[in-house]
Structure formats: C-alpha cells, structure tokens
A and B are shown apart, each in its own frame.
Chain A
Amino acid sequence: MKLKLLVLGVAIPAAANAATNVTLQNFSGVSSGNPIVDNTGTPIDNSLSSWAVGTFETAFADGLSGLDTVTADQAVIDAFTQSGASGSLSINGLFNGTVESDSGNANANAPLYALVTYNAAAGVQALVFDLGRAFPTQDGAGNASVDLGRLLTTDDVAFGNTNPVAADTSTLPPPFAGFNQGITFDVGAVIPEPSTGLLSLIAGLGLLARRRR
C-alpha cells in the first residue's frame, strides 16, 4: 500500500522590495523638458500636484480620447486604479522620478498608464499618459522596473490636450527657463504666445492714444 506523503510547506516570506519600479520624466536636466501647465500656460504648482501609475478597465480606456477634457476629470480619476504610492513633482510642472508600484504583481500584463492630477482653484484636473506598455511580470524576487528612457510628450497623452502649448516659464528656476512648450489638461484652452500677448498690449495702447487725440 502506498503511503501518501503530505508535505506541509512554509510560504516564502515576502520579498524586501517586491514592487515594480516605474521611472517617468517630463524633463531631463536643464536641456529638455515639457512642463505640465495650466490653462494660462503656467507650470502647475508642484505642492498641489502629483503623479501616479496604474491602469483602467479596458472599456473605459478605449473611450479616454473621446471624453471631454474640461468636464470629465473626476470621472477619469475615479476610473483610474492606482498602483502604489504617488510621486511628486520636483519643480512646478516638472517630474523626473521613481515610484514603487504593483506590490504582489497583481497588475502584471495590465496596460500601464500614468495619471497627473492638479488641485487647481477651479477644481481638480487630470492628465493621463498612455505609456504604451503593460505592467511587467516581476522576477522571482518580486522585482521589476520600467523606465521609458525618454521624456513624456503630448504624443503620450490619452486624456488631455494632445497638442503642445506655450509655457510661461517665468515661474521656473532660471536653469529651466528654456522649457517654453508644455503639456496641458484641457483641449481648446487658448494660451496666448508671449509675443502675441505683447502685440495685443501694444495694439491696445495704440488705440488708447488715438482716442485721447
């Protein structure tokens, strides 16, 4: 008679890191950057903003580009399944850092998105980047990493303005003053070029002078 041998195993203890490191950036040093800006072109206040990675249900993700960027921000935020802690913006409008996500690798193979939120005075605003890949499968030690190796651009925007807009860099530290094109939340927001604004001012002064004569 064969004896059935029961072996009671002990679960492997949790890995010390056991997460997927996701590194994202919209600027690199002082040479290149695409700041996230509000509807006036001002880089968003980093104390009122954050970024995170996560995923959406497929049906919702398929409809992201068709949503009204002005009114659907909260719906997008509610539909986003965040994975891991949020990351911060290093400087107004700019982020270049790493977050730990997907503890337990539950999101392996799920589409990977990044959500930027900004608590604007008029209400929260959301910007979604499609990172074009899935959450990776973690290795046996529970580790995986994603680094796009490039800046996020408007080409990656899945919910938000897919066209670059002029950025007012006067609020950025001088080394970053060259980042004059940004990414914004709302389609249709008219952000005047600095030169256009100046012409308008001059034209206005000219009309005022003519009236006084």
Chain B
Amino acid sequence: MKTKTLKVAATMGLTALLVGSAAAQESASKPVGYETLTIEDGFNYLGLRLHEAPVASGTITAIDADSIEDSAADFSALTGTYILEIDNGSGIIQEVVTFNSGTEIPTDDLTGEVAVDDSYTLRPVATLESVFGADGGDLDAGNAGTGGADQVWIPDGTGGFDKYYYDNTNLTTFVAAWTNADGSNAVVDPATVSLVYTDGLVIVGAGGANTFVVTGSVKLTETNFALSSGFNYVSSVSPAGSTLASMFGTDNESLLDAGNAGTGGADQVWVPVAGGFDKYYYDNTNLTTFVPEWTNADNGAAVDPATVSLDDASGLIIVNPGAAQSNSAGVPSFYGTL
C-alpha cells in the first residue's frame, strides 16, 4: 500500500459504512473518517472533504429532460435536501430539494450526459447545523453582534456570499442563535443552510486560532463543478492524497482554460499557503520548456502537478478570467482500491 493510502486509511479510521440502496438490492461500503480544520484569524479558505453518508444508490432506468427515474427505488421516506451524484465518470452532481415521486428525481436536462443503466448515489447535503452544530460548536461566537465571532461565508453563486455567525445574544430574540451577518440580526435556521461540498467556505476567523472537526464519508468518484467568471471558492473535495494532477489532470484533463506562453486567458488555481497563495495554471506553451506544462503563475516555472499536494488545502480559489464554465475534479487513483 502506498503511504498516502495508509494515511487516508488512518484518517478514515478503517471503517466501512454500508450504504443501502433505496431498493435494498445492493450495498456498497464507503470509507469514513474525520478531518480537523484550523481557523486562523482573518480569512480562511476551507472546504468540506468528508461528506454526509449516502442514503441511497441505484441504477437509472429512465431519463427525460427534467428528471431521472429508478423504477426499483423508493424515495418516499426521504425528506430534506440531497446531493444527487451520477456515477458514470461525468462527475455530475445536482441538489435535490424534492422528489417527483417514490421513483423519480427532478433534474436539469441530463439527456446528453446520462444514460439508462448509469449508477447514481444520493447523499444528504451538509448544512450549517450538521457541520458546525446547532449551537455553533467550536466556532467563536459573537455577543449581540459580529464582534469576536468567526463568520462563515458561503458563495451565493453570483459572486457574493451569504454570511453567518453564531451569536450568544441575538439582537432580535435576545437568545443564542445562528444569525445573518449582514447586519439585519435575522435569526437563521442552520438546518436550512446548505453547504454543497463543491463550494469552498470562507471563514473569517476572530479571537485567535481555533479548530473544528468534519466527519463523514469520502467521495471516491470525480465531481463536476461550475465556475463563474471571476473568483471561485471551491473545495478540494478529496481529504487526503490529492494533488494538482489528481484533481485537474496531469495534462489538464479537467479542461481548465489554458494559457499560451503566459497567464493570459488561463484559469488559475490558487492554493492557500501561509502568507498567501501558490498559483498555478496550465500553459500550452510554457516559456521554459516550450511544451504544455502546469506552470507557476508567479515565475513561469514548469511544475510537476503530482508534486503539488492539496492535502493542507481543503479550499482552493479558481480564478476564471473568461465566461462561466463547467469543469471536473478527479480523485486520487488509489481511491479506487478503497
């Protein structure tokens, strides 16, 4: 076993979680574990890399322009919000807030990307409550305002953020509550604030460094994520063993926009490090080697993407200078053995 595999196994506690399909016709064991993330004072770019355990899986029996169906499934007992994962190598994920019937899931038009007999998985979406606790857990809380509070910023999909913190004295109710950090003092039900695992979290830390623990299961297949124009805060998805190569491809198989002898027009991947970011992009004509290379965006040096570890970077920033696009994030190859 590779060292990285051992690390992942240790991280995951060598525990297999059996997942029952909706029809109980098959089950798959999913590795689970925990990860401790640190919140320093100031801006922290984090991501959720251990996910809610799947509650259902199965085989797609029908597809149309706005739904998929598994005739052997029974979704009638499922309530809440879920993440639908299509397990055909496309990495497609979608948020599911309701079901059309016991066997049918509403979707975007997937007819061009999904086929009958493709597999799928459903897992509950993480929420502010499931990750940080109904009482704010290990986050520094405010007292009648944001002063001294760790703030959790969630990308809103339009380039901005929805911002929350836990207030020991919410000024609307005068009791402890999750609160909207927009100045309205509006109480927030943390169970209704979804944290989709492709999204990075920005946590603005206050009051000294602290940590919080994320538990859950490891995703073993690739994930598709949408990039808006501009700054995108994303999760690195895989909790251990992930590199620039495994996530985006040795030869940019994830098809990020590449540069040509420079960063112009290129999507840049920013990896948070102490004091700033290490920045990379794929250059079709690296000016050092004159061949396509992953390249350091600061100095133009060619980079071996397999040596750029993302283990310490649960959150990344992808800077997209072009129009909105969709790209895929892979997982380390040894995840196939887990």
Contacts and interface: CB of A to CB of B under 8 A. Distances in A.
Given A7-B261, A13-B229, A141-B270, A147 B147 contact: yes
Interface stretch (B105-113, B118-126, B167-175): B167-175
A27 B168 CA distance: 13
B230 A30 contact: no
Contacts, number: 123
A65 interface: no
B174 A175 contact: yes
B277 A90 contact: no
A97 B146 contact: yes
Interface in A117-152: 139-141, 143-145, 147-149
A191 interface: no
Given A97-B146, A97-B183, A145-B43, A23 B206 contact: yes
B145 A97 contact: yes
Given A23-B147, A30-B169, A139 B142 contact: no
Chain A at the B interface: mostly helix, strand, loop or mixed? loop
A37 B45 CA distance: 40
Nearest to B171: A90
A141 B202 CA distance: 11
Interface residues of A, number: 41
A55 interface: no
A95 B143 CA distance: 11
B262 interface: yes
Contacts of A5: 261, 287
Given A139-B277, A145-B204, A149-B207, A9 B263 contact: yes
B207 to A, nearest CB: 6
Given A28-B147, A29-B169, 8 more contacts: A7-B262, A11-B321, A13-B319, A17-B153, A27-B144, A96-B146, A98-B151, A147-B147
Interface of B: 41-43, 45, 142-148, 151, 153, 155, 159-161, 168-169, 171, 174, 181, 183, 185, 202, 204, 206-207, 229-231, 233, 261-265, 268, 270, 276-277, 279, 287, 317, 319-321
Smallest CB-CB A-B distances: 4 pairs: A96-B145, A29-B143, A25-B147, A7-B262
